[in-house]
Amino acid sequence: MERMYPLVSEKLPHFFHGGDYNPEQWPAEVRDADMRLMKLAHWNLATVGVFSWVSLQPAPDQWDFDWLDAVMDNLAEGGMFACLATPTAAPPAWLSHQHPASLRTDAQGRRHRHGNRVNYCPNAVAYREACAEIAGRLAERYKEHPALALWHVSNEYGGVCYCETCAGEFRRWLEAKYGSLDELNERWYTRFWSHTFTDWSQIEPPLQHGESMPALRLDYRRFNSDSLLGCYLNEARILREVTPGVPVTTNMMGAHPDMDYHTWAPHVDVVAWDSYPSVRSAPEQISFYHDLMRGLKRDRPFLLMEQTPSSQNWQAVNALKRPGQMRLWSYQAVAHGSDSVMYFQWRRGRGGHEKLHGAVVAHAGHENTRVFQEVAELGEELEKLGDAVLGSATQAKIAVIFDWQSWWTLDATSGPVRDKQYVQTLIKHYAALRERNIMVDVVSPETALEGYSAVVAPMLYMVRTEWAEKVTEFVRGGGRFVATAMTGWVDETDLAYLGGYPGALRQVLGVWVEEIDALFEDQANQIRMKQPFGPCRGEYKCGRLCELLHAEQAGVLGTYGADFYAGWPVVTENRLGEGFAYYIGTDPEQEFLVHFYRTICADCGIFPPMEGGEGIEVTLRSQKDRSFIFVLNHRDEVSFVDLGDRHYCDLLTGRTHTANVPVRGFDVRILEEVEPTPDQDAPQEKPAE
């Protein structure tokens, strides 16, 4: 077999199966029991060291690595590996007390007291120095250790600091960006409310009781994301220097508002992320984040670094994953490009905030629990699955553009509605495609568009001129491009485009937007299709945002049904060169999007990897010479998938199938096409129900 991409770690040519392990919270006998239980659970990778700072460095000049030495040795002896974490997400009390300025200051300007976690100022020199020291010591100590497979830098970077140190760094960051105060004043439009700055020292972070101009808030988010990235790099650089062959990552959090992960992605060797859906999350909501995270690095799989084996403890209602659901969602991550299934946490702690968070080992302390058994069975199954899927690609012909910059700018903007619903809007469009199991990449605007047949950019509020040029070329060359309400209103520093929205995209879309109406929740308008656009025909509801737009070169596909702008264009199509650009000037009901994208996909010749019954999700992962179709049944009752007259082997059962194949409730099949063989007539599996 020819793998599409290399393995994450040559040391561990298996699905990573493991997760957060906190031996520092337990006495030696429990740690011994852990080793036996981990074998039973078919774990091969334990994330150790996260939050263990005070156990490694009880005082500024005191170090204790003995316990970690023993844990690393035990893992190696047991044939397991370590995803070794630097403990820097939770600085010890002595550090905070010695360096109060290393603590975070909130938006009210209050310096926090010591406590909780991720409570450091990302620009505090004392914090950065202490991090560098402990990262360096860990790297030196374990660089040759056979268990070391992966570095896990800190934990879930996030949050914002507004302290004096950050203010100073912010000014330096701005100076480097704008060069002069004049330029900054121009780009920030500071004559408004007489906000012109005459000295760099006048610029402050956007404290709640202070300056709040949108352009400043936007730059502060960029700066803060860069500051947190600086913390990551501070450690990653050292780890890379000492252990050049060991991959370095940190656990990300999906569509998190504090970091523009697109700027982080080049600095991690593999994207790793923590997935915590609610049991009520729709399958497309869950997979959207997997695809967003995979899209950070398009040329390799990602890692599911954390998920709960049963329940969370921090949601309002922490329902248990139903029997089979943890396995289903684990395979969903794999189906969308993960080469790992990992959990938070190995063992429930006796105290602290997370003692009621789901864990592989319950407070009962043994293996005879539902959750342990499900984890162990999944681990065994992943082992049997072998390495065929590892390093395979998840290829899509359609890209949805996700842009932290537009999201931040929309959020910093007053009007036309307070809650812009940027992420929800993206998920609506994505779900309309996934509903039919169309493979989708969720990528940054910087992504090269070659290779895609269609590009969807919902609410891309901030459009850079070069991006508009790239899209124009894409459409001219035969691509389909879809944009929606509130696209192309501002430039990179939040200055509105003059001459009509969608600014730089006006020519490619062939429309200009004159006004935008905001609708209350109990109000709606309609999209009336002038002629059928494939299955998109008749009338659909729309609401929230209704743009009053003029079709210039574009043809009108649909018009508003009501209000004083009844009859105005709302859905348009512009032919440009070999391609088409579409504009949807409102927030339509889901059914409209489902129908609309059916036509777009049909026009581009994009089809799902396979057709299935209700509740069935399908994805495709491919090696150079092998392809795997993942079939997941998200309903708790039997459904089916249609194999037509082809024959497929289910890698999980070893059986061959053809035609309509049942998939039990919450069950998964991984199918690979095979030549029909005599045993094709062997009795088919019967669904349990």
CA distance 449 to 620: 20
When asked if residue 274 is in the footprint of ligand GLA (CB under 6 A), the reply is yes
By C-beta, is 318 or 680 nearer to ligand GLA? 318
The listed partner (ligand GLA, Zn ion, none) that binds 536, CB under 5 to 8 Å by sort, is none
Binding residues among 92-121 for ligand GLA as defined by CB under 6 A = none
Q: Which residues are within 8 A (CB) of 623 and not within 5 positions of it... i.e. 6 or more apart?
A: 1, 2, 3, 4, 388, 391, 392, 393
Let me know how long the chain is.
689
* Contact of 378 with 53, CB cutoff 8 Å: no
* Residue 457 φ/ψ, nearest 5 degrees: -130, 80
Binding mask of the shown chain, residues 350 to 389, with x at each position contacting ligand GLA by CB under 6 A: ----x--x--------------------------------
CA distance 269 to 144: 20
CA 331 centroid distance within chain:
16
Shortest Cβ distance from residue 155 to ligand GLA (Å)? Answer: 5
Shortest Cβ distance from residue 165 to Zn ion (Å)? Answer: 5
The listed partner (ligand GLA, Zn ion, none) that binds 161, CB under 5 to 8 Å by sort, is Zn ion
When asked if residue 275 is in the footprint of ligand GLA (CB under 6 A), the reply is no
* Contact of 511 with 581, CB cutoff 8 Å: no
By C-beta, is 209 or 280 nearer to ligand GLA? 280
Window of 18-26, 48-56, 161-169, 415-423 that interacts with Zn ion by CB under 5 A: 161-169
By C-beta, is 273 or 592 nearer to ligand GLA? 273
The listed partner (ligand GLA, Zn ion, none) that binds 274, CB under 5 to 8 Å by sort, is ligand GLA
Residue 112 DSSP code? P
Total binding residues toward ligand GLA, as defined by CB under 6 A: 10
The listed partner (ligand GLA, Zn ion, none) that binds 163, CB under 5 to 8 Å by sort, is Zn ion
CA distance 526 to 543: 8
When asked if residue 276 is in the footprint of ligand GLA (CB under 6 A), the reply is yes
Binding residues among 154-193 for ligand GLA as defined by CB under 6 A = 155-156
The listed partner (ligand GLA, Zn ion, none) that binds 246, CB under 5 to 8 Å by sort, is none
Binding residues among 230-259 for ligand GLA as defined by CB under 6 A = 251
CA distance 579 to 577: 6
Q: Residue 306 catalytic?
A: yes
By C-beta, is 275 or 392 nearer to ligand GLA? 275
Among 103, 161, 440, 593, binds Zn ion (CB under 5 A): 161
**Of 5, 1, 69, 674, nearest to 394 (Cα)?**
5
Residue 82 DSSP code? E
Shortest Cβ distance from residue 153 to ligand GLA (Å)? Answer: 12
* Residue 13 φ/ψ, nearest 5 degrees: -80, 50
CA distance 202 to 246: 45
Shortest Cβ distance from residue 345 to ligand GLA (Å)? Answer: 7
By C-beta, is 126 or 236 nearer to Zn ion? 126
The active-site residue, picked from 169, 235, 306, 374, is 306
By C-beta, is 152 or 300 nearer to ligand GLA? 152
Window of 121-129, 139-147, 338-346, 591-599 that interacts with Zn ion by CB under 5 A: 121-129
Total binding residues toward Zn ion, as defined by CB under 5 A: 5
When asked if residue 228 is in the footprint of Zn ion (CB under 5 A), the reply is no
* Contact of 178 with 112, CB cutoff 8 Å: no
DSSP state letters, 313-331? SSSSS-PPPPTTHHHHHHH
Binding residues among 305-344 for ligand GLA as defined by CB under 6 A = 306, 312, 344
Structure tokens at 23: 């031996």
Structure tokens at 12: 């561990």
When asked if residue 24 is in the footprint of ligand GLA (CB under 6 A), the reply is no
The active-site residue, picked from 156, 169, 547, 573, is 156
The listed partner (Zn ion, ligand GLA, none) that binds 276, CB under 5 to 8 Å by sort, is ligand GLA
The listed partner (ligand GLA, Zn ion, none) that binds 156, CB under 5 to 8 Å by sort, is ligand GLA
When asked if residue 88 is in the footprint of ligand GLA (CB under 6 A), the reply is no
The listed partner (ligand GLA, Zn ion, none) that binds 649, CB under 5 to 8 Å by sort, is none
Shortest Cβ distance from residue 265 to ligand GLA (Å)? Answer: 19
* Residue 304 φ/ψ, nearest 5 degrees: -80, 100
Among 83, 121, 382, 432, binds Zn ion (CB under 5 A): 121
Among 71, 163, 268, 438, binds Zn ion (CB under 5 A): 163
Q: Which residues are within 8 A (CB) of 304 and not within 5 positions of it... i.e. 6 or more apart?
A: 272, 273, 275, 290, 330, 333, 334, 338, 340, 341, 342
Shortest Cβ distance from residue 313 to ligand GLA (Å)? Answer: 7
By C-beta, is 89 or 601 nearer to Zn ion? 89
The listed partner (ligand GLA, Zn ion, none) that binds 312, CB under 5 to 8 Å by sort, is ligand GLA
CA distance 392 to 623: 5
* Contact of 513 with 507, CB cutoff 8 Å: no
By C-beta, is 312 or 338 nearer to ligand GLA? 312
Structure tokens at 355: 């003692």
* Contact of 582 with 603, CB cutoff 8 Å: no
Shortest Cβ distance from residue 376 to ligand GLA (Å)? Answer: 21
Q: Is 421 exposed, middle or buried (0-12, 13-18, 19+ CB in 10 A)?
A: middle
The listed partner (Zn ion, ligand GLA, none) that binds 166, CB under 5 to 8 Å by sort, is Zn ion
Shortest Cβ distance from residue 229 to ligand GLA (Å)? Answer: 18
Shortest Cβ distance from residue 123 to Zn ion (Å)? Answer: 5
DSSP state letters, 234-293? HHHHHHHHH-TTS-EE-EE-SS-TT--HHHHGGG-SS-EEE----TT--HHHHHHHHHHH
Q: From residue 283, how far is each of 307, 343, 606 by CA, in Å? A: 15, 19, 21
When asked if residue 595 is in the footprint of ligand GLA (CB under 6 A), the reply is no
Give the up-direction half-sphere exposure of residue 475: CA atoms within 13 A in the CB hemisphere.
23
Window of 84-92, 160-168, 516-524, 621-629 that interacts with Zn ion by CB under 5 A: 160-168
Binding residues among 471-500 for Zn ion as defined by CB under 5 A = none
* Residue 407 φ/ψ, nearest 5 degrees: -60, -50
Binding mask of the shown chain, residues 165 to 204, with x at each position contacting Zn ion by CB under 5 A: xx--------------------------------------
CA distance 374 to 326: 8
Helices (H) and strands (E) in the chain, counts: 17, 26
Positions that interact with Zn ion (CB under 5 A): 121, 161, 163, 165-166
Positions that interact with ligand GLA (CB under 6 A): 155-156, 251, 274, 276, 306, 312, 344, 354, 357
List, by residue number, the catalytic residues.
156, 306
